[in-house]
Homo-oligomer: A and B are copies of this chain.
Amino acid sequence: MELVVKELGVARGGVRVLEGLSFVLGAGQALILRGPNGSGKTTLLRVLAGLQPSVAGRISVSRDSVAYASHADGIKGQLSVAENLHFWARLHAERDITRALEAFDLRALQDRLAGALSAGQKRRLGLARLMVTGRPLWLLDEPTVSLDSEAVALFGAAIEAHLQRGGMAVIATHIDLGLTSARVLDVTPFRARRPVGDAFDEAFL
């Protein structure tokens, strides 16, 4: 299991934002995406998750092996924490949600309606969802938003455990996660240049 990205170009709203991006991620490795606001990290992750087509290059990974966690968490406020997790677990043909509940310290909250959680608690639930997908490649967009330092540590431990089991992770973030083993990729150098000349067709993209 490997993620190979070759000369990838991605676009958003009809404008290229990144191009010529290549990297290889082996089993048990993590990659941290960095770059200033608006540099295209979210766009890149959505392309990797198969939610959006790339405009150039190749990605070696099948859609069935990725679990994507975006800014929005996909949590139903009217269902309890456990019900939310159960649903995603059954959808991915997994049974067990206790490991996920434990990993993010949600045991005490499991019967609470998800709508009555604080911002950080909601985020923890969103991250716990990743653990019940059974997917090897995690794509995380700013996962630690609104988490306190304790929860950030839990998150770090969950990632490490996932990598240990041969999983992979691509994480876009602005702050330091304390993942010592992870490689860092700054996307700034891959920012798409303006096309030279006035290539009419290209302006269509």
Contacts and interface: CB of A to CB of B under 8 A. Distances in A.
What's the number of copies of this chain in the assembled complex? 2
Contact of A145 (B116, B117, B146): B146
Given A37-B121, A37-B124, A124-B37, A13 B145 contact: no
A108 B151 CA distance: 37
Interface string A65-86: 0000001000000000000000
Nearest to A176: B175
Interface of A is mostly: loop
Interface residues on A, range: 20 to 34
Interface in A1-26: 13
A13 B114 CA distance: 13
Given A13-B116, A116-B13, A149 B174 contact: yes
A124 B174 CA distance: 15
A38 B121 contact: yes
Given A13-B116, A119-B42, A119-B71, A37 B148 contact: yes
Interface string A114-151: 00111111001000000000000000001001111111
A146 B35 CA distance: 11
A145 B145 contact: yes
A57 interface: no
Best-buried of A38, A42, A117 by chain B (most CB within 10 Å): A38
A168 B149 CA distance: 26
Contacts of A42: 118-119
A166 interface: no
Contacts of A149: 174
A44 to B, nearest CB: 12
Interface in A147-189: 147-151, 174-175
